[in-house]
Amino acid sequence: MADWLLTWEGPINEVAGLTERIWIIEREPGSCFDRIALREVRGGEVRYPYPVLILPGMFSHGEQLIHVSWHGIQPTISLTQHPDTAIPLYLAKRGFLTYTVDYRTHFVMPDIKDLSFMLKWGWDAWLSDVKVVVDKVKELGGKDEVILIGESFGGIASMNFASVDQESIKAIVFLDGAPIKEQAPRIISAASISELEAKKLYAVQSLIGLEFSGGLANQVWLRALYNPSLPSPNPNFRTLADYLVDVLYRAGLANPYSYPYTPKEVAFAVMATFDPYWPARLLIEPTDKFRVGYGNVRVPTLAIVSEFGMRIVDMEVLNRINTKIITLKGYGHLDVYANPNNVKNVNEPVYDWLLNLT
């Protein structure tokens, strides 16, 4: 397969003093969708020795974490209003060489009809991608180890990767994304890869908003973002925006009613910039071969867990590896990543913890 190709280098227009570089590499088996991108965010001076690699969550991607955009389409919310809520920018501004990744899913457009190729995108493919990304980050950072920060699904991926290759890892930060309880409910009606194939259930779309959009879920969030006074489809709410933020609240994703007081426009911008599809295989594929190695992970670990996360995070695993745990009462899942209050409740504690490692 081809090597990494540098495709972009320039300033991050939304935040003065930061620059971005983007590389793309083709992956096996080599279709036009089998590719990933690595994004580097750098401030004026790199002051800390170990590079940071942030693995996004389900449906998320590095472009979203840096720009709150999707293939260059940026909603009306300006990143300059709350730049420190984005942890890649927060850490880069303070001297960390910071990286994140666009998964293969970022290159699958909404109008693709045949998604059968995604049936091959299981844990082996995903962790092989993480491996080549980690190796590239080590090369660029000039170190033998990287700091992994895993958001949501990215935290599970970080732990699974550590169970087979912890020699490459300096430390792990779980941002509402630690390993989940084995008895956590499934969200799709299939129990095996063969059943997925038989049902032609190759991918899932975003699980919130589909009933309103007539198609891909991000459309309804864009409508609410650009036209917050549109009437609500539910008579208990005056506007579409009021209704949708309550949908997020009931799903455990946001908390507009008490601290940390989710700003509607921030949550909607995140929902509107998710990738359209996620591999169904990753939702059902057993992780036993990784879980047996969890107890052998010996790198320092920090977990920040929202009130939503407390329902599903496997605290036994975290305690077994001597994780420092910070719980955030009232926080929804998205609040950990995109809420003005996450600067003092999430990003500052992560930064302080990382300083003690370097």
Q: 317: helix, coil or strand?
A: helix
User: Does residue 225 lie within any of the structural domains?
Assistant: no
Percent of the chain with pLDDT over 70: 94
Pick from 52-56, 114-118, 310-314, 354-358: least confident? 354-358
**Inter-residue contact 333 to 253 (CB < 8 Å):** yes
The mean pLDDT value for 237-260 works out to 95
Q: 313: helix, coil or strand?
A: strand
Task: Provide the pLDDT for residue 205.
Answer: 87
Per the structure, the complete domain to which residue 159 belongs is given by 5-206+279-355
Q: What percent of the chain is helix, strand and coil (3-state, nearest 5)?
A: 40, 20, 40
Q: CA triplet 182, 186, 189: central angle to 5 degrees?
A: 140
What residue type is 52 in one-letter code?
A: V
Query: Quick one: pLDDT band at residue 283, thresholds 50, 70, 90?
Result: very high
Order of strands, edge to edge, in the sheet holding 169-175? Answer: 5-11, 19-26, 35-42, 98-102, 52-55, 146-151, 169-175, 301-306, 324-328
Task: Provide the pLDDT for residue 74.
Answer: 87
User: Does residue 41 lie within any of the structural domains?
Assistant: yes
Handedness of CA 179, 150, 266, 64 (dihedral sign): negative
Task: Provide the pLDDT for residue 191.
Answer: 86
Total domains, the chain: 1
- Bridge partner list, 279: 203
- 253-278 confidence digits (pLDDT tens): 999 999 999 999 999 999 999 999 99
pLDDT higher than 50, residue 29: yes
Helices (H) and strands (E) in the chain, counts: 14, 11
Strands 52-55 and 146-151: parallel
Query: Quick one: pLDDT band at residue 115, thresholds 50, 70, 90?
Result: very high
Report the C-alpha dihedral over residues 276, 66, 14, 260, rounded to 10 degrees. Answer: 90
Q: Which of 302, 116, 129, 290 shows the shortest CA–CA distance to 198?
A: 116
- pTM of the shown model: 0.95
User: Does residue 10 lie within any of the structural domains?
Assistant: yes
Task: Provide the pLDDT for residue 184.
Answer: 53
Write out the DSSP string of 117-153: GGGG-SHHHHHHHHHHHHHHHHHHHT-S-EEEEEETH
Task: Provide the pLDDT for residue 211.
Answer: 54
Rounded CA-CA distance 343/64 in Å is 18
Pick from 107-121, 135-149, 181-195: least confident? 181-195
Task: Provide the pLDDT for residue 213.
Answer: 47
**Greatest distance between any 2 Cα atoms in the chain:** 58
Q: Which of 81, 79, 2, 1 shows the shortest CA–CA distance to 41?
A: 79
Pick from 79-83, 89-93, 230-234: least confident? 79-83
pLDDT higher than 70, residue 315: yes
User: Does residue 234 lie within any of the structural domains?
Assistant: no
- 183-225 confidence digits (pLDDT tens): 555 678 888 999 999 999 999 987 565 455 444 557 889 889 9
Task: Provide the pLDDT for residue 14.
Answer: 84
Task: Provide the pLDDT for residue 214.
Answer: 44
Q: What is residue 85's DSSP assignment?
A: G
User: Does residue 228 lie within any of the structural domains?
Assistant: no
Q: 306: helix, coil or strand?
A: strand
Task: Provide the pLDDT for residue 216.
Answer: 52
Task: Provide the pLDDT for residue 215.
Answer: 46
Q: 27: helix, coil or strand?
A: coil
The mean pLDDT value for 49-73 works out to 96
Task: Provide the pLDDT for residue 277.
Answer: 94
Q: Which of 33, 45, 38, 13 shows the shortest CA–CA distance to 23?
A: 38
Which CATH number belongs to the domain containing residue 17 in this structure? 3.40.50.1820
Give kind and range of the element (H or E) at residue 239.
none
Unique residue bearing structure tokens 């057993």: 286
User: Does residue 299 lie within any of the structural domains?
Assistant: yes
User: Does residue 212 lie within any of the structural domains?
Assistant: no
- Count CB neighbours of 295 within 10 A: 11
Pick from 99-113, 137-151, 217-231, 308-322: least confident? 217-231
User: Does residue 300 lie within any of the structural domains?
Assistant: yes
Q: What is the mean pLDDT of the chain?
A: 92
pLDDT higher than 70, residue 28: yes
